[in-house]
Structure 1
Amino acid sequence: MELPRPLTQDDFIPVEAAQAKLGQLLFYDRILSGNQNIACSTCHHPDLGTGDGLSLGIGEGGVGLGPQRKPGTGEDRIRKRIPRNAPGLWNLGARDLSVMFHDGRLSVADTYENGFNSPAEERLPDGLDNLLAAQAVFPLVAQFEMAGNPKENEVAGAVHDRIDYAWPILTDRVRHNADYAAMFTNAYPHIEASADITIADIANALSAFMIAEWTSFDSPFDAYLAGDASAMTPDQVDGMDLFYGVAGCSDCHSGSLMTDQAFHALGLPPFGPGRTRQWDPMVRDVGHMGESNRLEDAYAFRTPMLRNVALTAPYGHNGAYPTLEGIVRHHMNPAEALEAWTPKQAALPEVPWLAVIDFAVWQDSREMARQRAAAIQVTPILQDTEVAAIVAFLEALTGETAKTGHLGIPSGVPSGLPVDGRISD
């Protein structure tokens, strides 16, 4: 059995404290949303493992936090569920990370001669520091996540015309806030006046905060890798032996980041609006095929990293399983698990006007047959005790500081807009 080498700080992009502090305020500030009613933190909250505790999130137009978030009312109500589960933000500043989003639609590449292959193509802003900064610009201009609907605000209207028309509008909001302007000129040497601030600078600050706040390699497993044989319990060690041995989990969850950064079709129970290829008339989620346009990539999704996975329920690209045991068992027999799955396992706040869409794909027998045919079994059938041991090992991936963070939640933000506080408050 070969274990990965330990992670160290050198595996992650370094950040400046002033830039991380600035990014913290922007992360919790609703100023970056079209209607100024939602922040990055709304769907990536530290009390929920940097997710939202839902299978499919309730974005722009919703009210509240986490599993108690409601879909809104009247003209402000949501028009669509977020198509995929809000992923955790752990270790996204790793130097070796080369692809992001469940379907891999953002990656390090020179496809458009700007360093990235992204949905913005050649219109991606210049000056982005890293892959995480490139990722940060997209939720800001996603209609159902943060931008809002056309005719509701100028950001949403601009996105409807062309994606890069919206970023300068958001940038102007930040530029014209005196507190933000002062912090940007202090944090970035190339910014001498507020007019110098760009959306790339905003995204770079957001990435600096996420790297500083959620870089995590202080779990019992990390201590074990570093030489402390007593760091894990016997059942956790048994689970590790299975994970890196006969269970074959490490075939995909490989390396120090515990991901091969590749795409695999696991046949998770489908629901929600999904993400399809352009002009696709079906309610479904085609996975990586939506990016690659290759049939062999149909229904395949990126292997997630696993640090702090015990904090990030529900599990899967659409949050189909509420427990680690459920998602582990699915890997053993996707076909059987799909038949046994029930909609009650999905954490979906009731949205009556979207109910007809939520499970529409199950009525399409041909589509369901295609999804079943694409699924692969990636783990051998395990005994109950072995499943329990693997779950125990996954719980040993929780960092000592994962629940406390470093900078935490600010008491206020420069815009003066409400801040998403502790969910327990």
Structure 2
Amino acid sequence: MSDAPAGMFNPIDEDLAAIGQLLFYDPILSGNRNISCGTCHNHDTFSADGVSLGIGEGGVGVGPKRVAQDGPNQIKKRIPRNAQALFNVGALEVFFHDGRLGASPDYGNGVNSPAEEFLPDGLETLLAAQALFPMTSQFEMAGNPKENEVAGAIHDRIDMAWPILAKRVRIIDEYRELFADVGVEEISIADIGNALGAFMDAEWRSFDSAYDFGSMDAAQMRGQDLFFGDAGCADCHSGPLFTDQDFHAIGLPPFGPGRTRRFDPMPRDVGRMAESDALEDAYRFRTPSLRNVAVTGPYGHNGAYATLEGIIRHHLDPLTGLDEWRPEMAQLPSVPWLQQADFIIHEDSREMARVRASLDLEPQHLSDDEIMDLVAFMGALTGKKSIYGRLGKPKSVPSGLRVD
């Protein structure tokens, strides 16, 4: 395997990562004990879930085969954003599509996060901090407030649920023994976050592609020349991770429930602006890494395009992409009671006009052959062994709950 550039990652703690592997796939960290981090970031689907907008808490199955359960606890909305792949996540400096977690002095704990000053002490990395927040999301892992004590506690304040989850882990003998072996006697939520962060960091480091080894074919080499040259892709997809970790508006067609805000319940997603409150950040989203991009579609913050050709063509001409995009291009698991509302925002002429007016991309012309060469170069960024992870999926977890 080709090595990552020096200094990009923290040293691997194998013992802590092994604990994190178990926690990553253990539903004990969800409100209703029925979903884990690994449900939506599964090894079977290359650390993502293979759909545009996934089904979180209240579903059964993994990836494109995951279905929403009917009945009194049926889901109220889809996950509002595409599940991001986790390759090289330990080297990121900002997290989530809108960058709402990153280093900052604002709250006295070194981290800007949705928990603000209530983020627990003892978290060793930004990735460890990030790992705590899916547990607090109603539609990802927590469940509805009346369903369980975790969701109810979050309804009071975001940090109130973490001690409940930490206690669940602490009272399991195997977890207690494993943590004791790494010097942790009283398991806190920070210890759980550190283990999860260590696992994700160590598990999906990926620098063993044809690009890394200089073994690309002719089409891939032509695509590389375009990528770093006339096509301008490297203006944003730069560096060894192929991301500037900055935010750009590319005019993806809106659909789904959107990441709504309390004062703005409209089913739209304004991206970075929701975090910064700066109008100039409207509809800007963090540049994704292109490592292993060929195996981690659909593409875009909402998974609007199922193919690399589709998302590349959109980048080259966003307004035409908006005009020609159709709802059937989204890969949405069937949820009959939500389908009527899935594309309401796409039919809102005023919102569509706002998206069209907020673009950081200028149209470019490439021939069909050149576009396919870019697609070929994207394939050259696919790792060999690394796409399958290091430790893989555990066969069982200490809680005894089902491993997805």
**Normalization by structure 1: what TM-score?**
0.93
Task: Please give the alpha-carbon distance, in whole angstroms, between the structure 2 residues aligned to 1:214 and 1:297.
Answer: 30
Residues 1:77 and 1:9: Cα distance change in structure 2 (over 3 Å): farther
Task: Please give the alpha-carbon distance, in whole angstroms, between the structure 2 residues aligned to 1:116 and 1:362.
Answer: 35
Provide the residue aligned with 1:135 in structure 2: 130
Post-superposition shift, 1:355? Answer: 2.0
Task: Please give the alpha-carbon distance, in whole angstroms, between the structure 2 residues aligned to 1:290 and 1:278.
Answer: 11
Are 1:71 and 2:40 matched, yes or no? Answer: no
Provide the residue aligned with 1:271 in structure 2: 255
Are 1:367 and 2:351 matched, yes or no? Answer: yes
Post-superposition shift, 1:379? Answer: 5.9
- The Cα offsets for residues 128-173 of structure 1, whole Å up to 9 and x where unpaired, read as 1111111100001110000000110000000011010000000000
Which residue of the other structure, out of 232, 237, 247, is the alignment partner of 2:216? 232
Post-superposition shift, 1:6? Answer: 7.7
SS in structure 2 of the partner of residue 416 of structure 1: coil
Greater shift, 313-322 or 399-408, is seen at 399-408
Which residue of the other structure, out of 196, 203, 228, is the alignment partner of 2:193? 203
Task: Please give the alpha-carbon distance, in whole angstroms, between the structure 2 residues aligned to 1:197 and 1:87.
Answer: 28
Provide the residue aligned with 2:211 in structure 1: 221
Q: Which amino acid aligns with 1:15?
A: I
Post-superposition shift, 1:272? Answer: 0.6
Post-superposition shift, 1:370? Answer: 0.7
Are 1:172 and 2:167 matched, yes or no? Answer: yes
Number of residue pairs matched?
403
Provide the residue aligned with 1:416 in structure 2: 400
Are 1:34 and 2:31 matched, yes or no? Answer: yes
Post-superposition shift, 1:276? Answer: 3.1
Q: Which amino acid aligns with 1:22?
A: I
Provide the residue aligned with 1:87 in structure 2: 84
Task: Please give the alpha-carbon distance, in whole angstroms, between the structure 2 residues aligned to 1:306 and 1:395.
Answer: 10
Post-superposition shift, 1:375? Answer: 2.3
- The Cα offsets for residues 327-373 of structure 1, whole Å up to 9 and x where unpaired, read as 00000111101111111111111212212321111232111111111
Contact 1:217 1:399 in 2 (8 A): yes
Task: Please give the alpha-carbon distance, in whole angstroms, between the structure 1 residues aligned to 2:400 and 2:168.
Answer: 13
| Unaligned segments of structure 2, at least 5 residues | none
Q: Which amino acid aligns with 2:177?
A: A
What are the within-5 Å matches in structure 2 for residues 3-402 of structure 1? 7-8=4-5, 10-94=7-91, 97-187=92-182, 189=183, 191=184, 193=185, 196-224=186-214, 231-378=215-362, 380-402=364-386
Task: Please give the alpha-carbon distance, in whole angstroms, between the structure 1 residues aligned to 2:378 and 2:347.
Answer: 35
Provide the residue aligned with 1:227 in structure 2: none
Q: Quote the RMSD (CA, aligned, Å).
A: 1.3
Post-superposition shift, 1:212? Answer: 1.2
SS in structure 2 of the partner of residue 107 of structure 1: strand
| Unaligned segments of structure 1, at least 5 residues | 225-230, 421-425
Task: Please give the alpha-carbon distance, in whole angstroms, between the structure 2 residues aligned to 1:199 and 1:347.
Answer: 35
Post-superposition shift, 1:381? Answer: 1.4
